[in-house]
């Protein structure tokens, strides 16, 4: 399982050491870097591509130049603030206050804070902050807006197309949901092969999987996959309902659910395939405010599904396969900025 990549930013060497130790002790978290100031953090963000940034709130409040806010606009990343000055925000991306850490806390205080920080980091990585008590001086966290999602559908020729699409995604890509028409025995192996060539984690979806940055979920064969909201955040629901557009899983089912759950916070991508599955769903995504992309005829094995979507007026961009990943990423981040 891919661990959550964390960058720690704190002006105190002792505090940085304590934070790094607390976070690294959790098997689901990997501390990939530590910075003493915002300038160093900016330099590290580009090549470390963390999933979450843990920032000393006092340090953020002293960032009069707004460098932290600019950094977050350039590379949107969930931020967890640590400190009594919990009101500090980073360009609208701060997800909440992790706790108050004194320079030399007691052992008991370290243990208490450790649980809070680890919990907030995991919540930030999944795009959701649960209700939790904050420490003295810290306001309660506000519920973040949904993070963007890229929904992908494909059929004949889609195995190779999806592999190329995922291989082009950076480690901090928005959550990706995939329906590929494929028998049940093959979807897990397909997901595993994609995972081996991708910077993001790719897995066959399981009931209740949370949708987060750096994760692509592939619908299991013979199961519809829907995006739903839950108390934990955005997650997937699986069912063996009737065939839709002649398929289970159906691209239309996925796209319809994404349109309902996220509206403009989503990007739909329809790749090569025979038939019309996904065309109506892509139209619903567009009508809900999302942005839509179809693979062009020249790069498709079969142009059927994209052509049907074009005929319905469901497509904003028609692109060759090699350009789709970059455009989907740009649109996903732009959509989130427009709706904030």
Which tokens is 131 given?
A: 């209700």
Please give the Cα distance from 114 to 136 (Å, whole number).
Answer: 16
Kindly state whether residue 140 falls inside one of the protein's structural domains.
no
Tell me: pLDDT of 37 over 90: no
| 133 inside domain | no
The share of the chain scoring above pLDDT 90, in percent, equals 51
Residue 67 backbone phi and psi in degrees, to 5: -65, -40
Position 55 scores a pLDDT of 84
| pLDDT tens-digit readout, 118-172 | 878 887 776 544 333 323 233 334 444 567 899 999 999 999 999 999 999 999 9
What are the residues facing 52 on neighbouring strands?
6
Specify whether 193 is located in the same domain as 302: yes
Is residue 193 predicted with pLDDT exceeding 90?
Answer: yes
Is residue 132 domain-resident?
no
* Residue finishing a domain among 126, 160, 192: 126
The answer to whether the beta carbons of residues 125 and 213 sit under 8 Å apart is yes
Look up the CATH number of the domain holding residue 277.
3.40.50.180
Same domain, 211 and 279: yes
Q: According to the model, what pLDDT value does residue 25 have? A: 86
Answer yes or no: pTM beyond 0.75.
no
pLDDT of residue 305: 98
How many domains does the chain divide into? 2
Mean pLDDT within 107-114: 53
Tell whether 20 and 103 lie within a shared domain.
yes
Tell me the average pLDDT across 39-55.
82
DSSP symbol at 51: S
pLDDT > 70: percent of the chain: 77
Q: Residue 316's pLDDT band (boundaries 50, 70, 90)? A: very high
- Mean pLDDT for the stretch of residues 30-36: 89
Mean pLDDT, all residues of the chain: 81
Higher pLDDT, 115 or 170: 170
d(CA 87, CA 120): 16
Instruction: Give the separation between CA 60 and CA 82, rounded to whole angstroms.
Output: 10
Say which range, 16-25, 102-111, 117-126, 278-287, has the weakest mean pLDDT: 102-111
Same domain for 157 and 103: no
Q: Is residue 138 in a domain?
A: no
Distance CA 161, CA 158 (A): 5
Q: For residue range 283-315, what is the model confidence (pLDDT) as tens digits? A: 999 999 999 999 999 999 999 999 999 999 999
Active-site hit among 126, 155, 245, 299:
155
pLDDT (0 to 100) of residue 144: 45
299 has catalytic annotation: no
Q: Which of 91-95, 119-123, 332-336 has the highest mean pLDDT?
A: 119-123
Please indicate whether residue 276 or residue 75 has the higher confidence score (pLDDT): 276
Q: CB–CB of 186/194 below 8 Å?
A: no
Same domain, 153 and 301: yes
> Which of the residues 181, 245, 257, 296 is marked catalytic?
181
- pLDDT at position 44, please? 81
The answer to the question of residue 139 being in a domain is no
CATH code for position 46:
3.40.50.2300
**Is residue 158 domain-shared with residue 262, that is, in the same domain?**
yes
| Geometric angle at alpha carbon 170, from 164 and 172, rounded to 5° | 135
Residue 3 has pLDDT above 90, yes or no: no
> Of residues 26, 56, 85, 277, which has the active-site annotation?
277
Identify whether 136 is part of a domain. no
Q: Which two tokens stand for residue 264?
A: 């403009």
Structure confidence by residue, pLDDT tens digits, 198-236: 999 999 999 999 999 999 999 999 999 999 987 778 999
Angstrom distance (rounded) from CA 169 to CA 214: 9
Annotation marks residue 155 as catalytic: yes
Residue 185 belongs to what H/E stretch?
A: helix 184-197
* Domain end call among 94, 126, 158: 126
Q: Say which residue, 8 or 18, is predicted with more confidence.
A: 8
Residue 112 and residue 45 share a domain = yes
Q: Are residues 109 and 22 in the same domain?
A: yes
- Give the domain extent around 81: 4-126
Residues 269/169, Cβ–Cβ less than 8 Å:
no
State yes or no: pLDDT of 27 exceeds 90: no
Residue 221 and residue 95 share a domain: no
| Structure confidence at residue 230 (pLDDT) | 79
| Among candidate residues 126, 141, 164, the one where a domain is terminated | 126
**pLDDT value of residue 36:** 87
One-character DSSP codes across 84-128 = S-TT--STT-EEEEEE---SS--HHHHHHHHHHHHHHHHHHHHT-
Among the listed residues 248, 238, 236, 223, the one whose alpha carbon sits nearest the alpha carbon of residue 155: 248
Residue 73 pLDDT > 90, yes or no?
no
234 assigned to some structural domain: yes
Is 319 found in the same domain as 279?
A: yes
Q: Confirm whether 112 is domain-assigned.
A: yes
What is the band of 99 on the pLDDT scale with cuts at 50, 70, 90?
Answer: very low
User: Are residue 225 and residue 82 in the same domain, yes or no?
Assistant: no
Contacts of 85 (CB under 8 A, 6+ apart): 57, 58, 60, 61, 137
Residues 32 and 90 in one domain: yes
């Amino acid at each position: 399982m891919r661990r959550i990549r964390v960058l720690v930013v704190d002006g105190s060497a002792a505090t940085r050491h304590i934070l790094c130790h607390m976070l690294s002790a959790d098997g689901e978290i990997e501390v990939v870097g530590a910075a003493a100031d915002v300038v160093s953090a900016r330099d590290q963000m580009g090549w470390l591509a963390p999933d979450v940034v843990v920032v000393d709130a006092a340090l953020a409040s002293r960032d009069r130049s707004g460098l932290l806010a600019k950094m977050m606009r350039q590379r949107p990343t969930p931020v967890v603030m640590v400190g009594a000055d919990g009101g500090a925000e980073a360009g609208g991306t701060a997800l909440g206050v992790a706790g108050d850490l004194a320079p030399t806390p007691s052992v008991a205080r370290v243990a208490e804070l450790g649980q809070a920080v680890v919990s907030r980091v995991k919540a930030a990585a999944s795009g959701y902050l649960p209700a939790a008590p904050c420490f003295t001086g810290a306001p309660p966290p506000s519920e973040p807006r949904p993070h963007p999602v890229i929904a992908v559908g494909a059929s004949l020729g889609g195995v190779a197309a999806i592999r190329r699409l995922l291989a082009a995604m950076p480690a901090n890509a928005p959550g990706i949901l995939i329906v590929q028409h494929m028998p049940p025995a093959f979807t897990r192996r397909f997901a595993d092969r994609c995972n081996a060539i991708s910077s993001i984690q790719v897995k066959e979806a399981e009931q209740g999987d949370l949708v987060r940055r750096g994760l692509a979920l592939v619908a299991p064969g013979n199961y519809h996959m829907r995006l739903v909201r839950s108390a934990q955040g955005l997650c997937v629901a699986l069912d063996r309902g009737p065939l839709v557009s002649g398929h289970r899983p159906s691209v239309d089912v996925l796209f319809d659910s994404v349109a309902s759950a996220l509206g403009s916070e989503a990007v739909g991508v329809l790749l090569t395939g025979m038939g019309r599955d996904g065309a109506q769903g892509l139209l619903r995504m567009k009508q809900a405010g999302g942005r839509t992309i179809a693979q062009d005829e020249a790069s498709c094995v079969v142009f059927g599904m994209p052509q049907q979507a074009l005929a319905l007026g469901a497509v904003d961009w028609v692109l060759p396969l090699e350009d789709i990943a970059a455009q989907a990423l740009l649109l996903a981040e732009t959509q989130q900025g427009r709706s904030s």
